[in-house]
Every structure is written in C-alpha cells, then in structure tokens.
Amino acid sequence: MHGRLDGRTALVTGAGGGIGAAVAERLAADGAAVLVTDVDEHAAQVVADQIMAAGGTADALALDVTDAAQASEAVTRAAALGDGILNIVVNNAGIIRPAMIAKLEEPDFRAVLEVHVVGAYTVSRAALPLLATDGTGRIINVTSAAGLVGTIGQANYGAAKAAVVGLTKSLAKELARSAITVNAIAPLAATAMTENIRTHEKLAAQTLARIPLGRWAEPAEIAGSFAFFASDDAAYITGQVLPVDGGTVI
Ligand SMILES: NC(=O)c1ccc[n+]([C@@H]2O[C@H](COP(=O)([O-])OP(=O)(O)OC[C@H]3O[C@@H](n4cnc5c(N)ncnc54)[C@H](O)[C@@H]3O)[C@@H](O)[C@H]2O)c1
C-alpha cells in the first residue's frame, strides 16, 4: 500500500490523547513513521502500540515540550525512525487553566504560555538541525479560536494561542529559505480539553450555538488537515492559519 507520506518521519507532541493521538494515527496511516510523544509516557506508548497494531510504524517517548534536553532527544529519536532526517513536526501539546482575569493567578498565566509558546519554540528549535530541506520539511503548530477572536475566561490561553500565530508567521518567513513550511491549525474537537464545556449544560449550549455546523468534531475529523499540511500538496503553502472548527471562526 502506498501512502502520500511514505518514507517521511514525524514527531507529534501531546500525542497521548485527543487531537495529537488522532494526528499521529493519521500521519502513520498515510505512511509516515511517527514518534508519539507526550508528557504522559504511558499514554504515548498506548497510541504508538495502536499505530503498530494497525500496521503502521511508530515509537513512543516521554517529552515535556518545555524541556530542551528532552526535545533534543526526541527529534533525534524521530529522525532515527528514518534515515536521520525529520520531515514533520507537529507542535500540538497544550493545557488550559481557565479563570476570569481577576482570578487568573500569575503561575496559571505563565504555565499556559510556557507549554504552548515556549514549548512550540523549544521543539521547533531542537528540530531545526534535522529538518528536511528538500521541500518536505514541515512544522505544523496548533492555535485556537481563542487566539484569533478571543474567549472569555481564558486570557492566558488566548494570549498563548495568538503568540503561536506570531511564531508560525515569523518561522514561516525565516525557514522558507530552507524550503520548510510552517503553518497552524485552529481546531475544535471533542477531547479531554473540552470535556468541561461539553458536559456543562449552559456552556455546552452556548458553545454549540457558536458553531455554524452545529456539532463538535471527533479528533479524527481534524487530523486530515494536518496530513494535508504535511503532504506535498501543501508544499507551496506557508505562514497560514487554517481553522478546522465547523465555521466557528468566520
Ligand atoms: N479540543 C479543542 O477543541 C481545541 C480547540 C482549539 C485548540 N486546541 C488545541 O489542540 C491541541 C490538542 O488539544 P486536545 O484538545 O487534544 O487536548 P488534550 O488535553 O486531549 O491533549 C493534550 C495533550 O497534551 C499533553 N501535554 C500537556 N502538557 C504537556 C507538556 N508540557 N509536554 C507535552 N505534552 C503535554 C497532555 O498530556 C495531553 O495528552 C492543544 O494545543 C489545544 O490547545 C484544541
């Protein structure tokens, strides 16, 4: 069977569950050899095992994206799944610490910025020496409607996700000379991160009312957009933000 990502290597962060797990599975289904990483090592291993059981190529590794030494080891391990070149980096790891600004304490503000912004910077920087420069190199970041249009009770998360957009655009311009594209996806999906909203009667109804397509996506529905950015079809697209959110950001 031939896949459009045959022969490519990929590293996905925060891939122990939710969108990251679905992306790892999809990239592998399209032929990439995937290093499944997460701060939760066991969760990453379970996903890697599922990929291998489905006939794909995967390995798992503990990676806290804010740790430069771990990031360095992870990119080396991911590249070693192929012939030492890393093709695809997906900066997906994320956390939320929701609170209205008056109750949003500094540690919770900093923690969210640390994982999303410093994490994407750390892993991208570690990956750079190994990233393919033949036109197949990809960095795919994950932003959010929160970073594009703002959300109530998530000033930390909105600030972090807006910063991810700035990081994406700046890296796209910097790395274009190496033919590496850098794009971002703003997803919306039923995951652990959105469980509190989806199970809260009032918030669930309010949120659904803001989704023109009127439903939450399963993570697997989001994953195809990552595979697209990773593919040759997207080789001439860089610095862009693609909402995959049922029309929430229009
Ligand atoms: N679910 C949505 O609707 C939605 C909307 C917009 C953006 N996002 C973004 O999508 C990405 C994935 O979110 P999700 O919904 O799948 O959430 P999730 O909570 O299901 O998964 C996040 C994963 O990141 C991992 N993680 C947390 N901190 C980490 C760290 N320091 N290093 C490495 N891994 C870490 C967690 O262990 C978890 O497996 C996040 O960046 C999130 O902000 C999600």
- Domain residue spans in the chain? 9-192+220-243
Torsion, CA 194, CA 195, CA 198, CA 202, rounded to 10: -100
Per DSSP, the three-state class of 163 is helix
Q: Which residues contact 152 (CB under 8 A, 6 or more apart)?
A: 100
Measured in angstroms, how far is the CA atom of residue 14 from the centroid of ligand 1? 6
Mean pLDDT of 122-150: 98
pLDDT digits (tens, 9 = 90+) for 196-250: 999 999 999 999 999 999 999 999 999 999 999 999 999 999 999 999 999 999 9
Measured in angstroms, how far is the CA atom of residue 177 from the centroid of ligand 1? 30
Nearest CA to ligand 1 atom 42: 94
The answer on pLDDT for 43 being more than 80 is yes
At residue 211, φ and ψ (nearest 5 deg) are: -100, 105
Measured in angstroms, how far is the CA atom of residue 137 from the centroid of ligand 1? 23
The answer on pLDDT for 1 being more than 60 is no
Query: Is-catalytic flag, 236?
Result: no
Query: DSSP letters along 191-250, please?
Result: SGGGHHHHTSHHHHHHHHHT-TT-SPBPHHHHHHHHHHHHSGGGTT--S-EEEESTTS--
Q: What percentage of the chain has pLDDT greater than the value 90?
A: 99
Ligand 1 closest atom vs CA 216: 3
pLDDT digits (tens, 9 = 90+) for 71-120: 999 999 999 999 999 999 999 999 999 999 999 999 999 999 999 999 99
Nearest CA to ligand 1 atom 31: 64
Q: In CATH, what class is 9-192+220-243? A: alpha beta
Mean pLDDT of the chain: 97
Per DSSP, the three-state class of 107 is helix
- HEC states along 29-54? HCCCEEEEEECCHHHHHHHHHHHHHC
